[in-house]
């Protein structure tokens, strides 16, 4: 049985920073995405690898945004989002849906990641217009 991922000690220092729940069944890609969000967008991020794990997290932590893999095992990302929005307090939480193309080039992966991080920033902090990934 898997354990619920935790927020790092570093992230606990800034408890008011927004929290993004990434639900991605590919652990390596999910971990990469979480680290990218933490380093580049400076938000807290946590990974769940399936629907039940995501539900455990939203019962314990208040999430501000969901990034959901469309192709999850046993449930697609849209169905999971509908179920999560039915939980009290999560009715208006926005979500981004993604599907990873395994054969993408490195340059297109970087461009796609930068676009995703810009979208995250626009959703959570719309008053910030430009986001530099340097």
> HEC states along 63-128?
CCEEEEECCCCCCCHHHHHHHHHCCCCCCCCCEEEECCCCCCCHHHHHHHHHHHHHHHHHHHCCCC
Residues in the chain: 134
The per-residue pLDDT for 5 is 55
User: What is the layout of strands, in order, in the sheet containing 44-48?
Assistant: 44-48, 19-23, 65-69, 95-98
Integer distance in angstroms from the first to the last C-alpha of the chain? 39
- Mean pLDDT in runs of 10 for the chain (134 residues)? 54 66 93 89 91 94 94 90 94 88 48 70 60 43
**Domain 16-120 sits in CATH 3.40.50.2300:** yes
pLDDT at 99: 79
- pTM (2 decimals)? 0.72
Q: Look at residue 1 in the predicted model and tell me its pLDDT.
A: 47
DSSP state of 27: H
């Amino acid at each position: 049985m898997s354990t619920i991922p935790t927020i790092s000690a570093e992230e606990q220092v800034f408890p008011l920073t927004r929290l993004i729940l990434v639900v991605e069944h590919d652990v390596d890609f999910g971990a990469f995405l979480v680290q990218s969000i933490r380093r580049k967008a400076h938000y807290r991020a946590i990974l769940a690898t399936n629907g039940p794990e995501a539900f455990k997290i939203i019962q314990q932590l208040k999430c501000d945004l969901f990034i959901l893999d469309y192709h999850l095992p046993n449930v697609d990302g849209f169905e999971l989002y509908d179920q999560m929005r039915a939980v009290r307090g999560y009715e208006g939480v926005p979500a981004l849906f993604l599907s990873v193309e395994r054969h993408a080039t490195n340059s297109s992966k970087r461009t796609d990641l930068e676009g995703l991080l810009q979208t995250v920033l626009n959703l959570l902090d719309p008053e910030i217009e430009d986001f530099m990934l340097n």
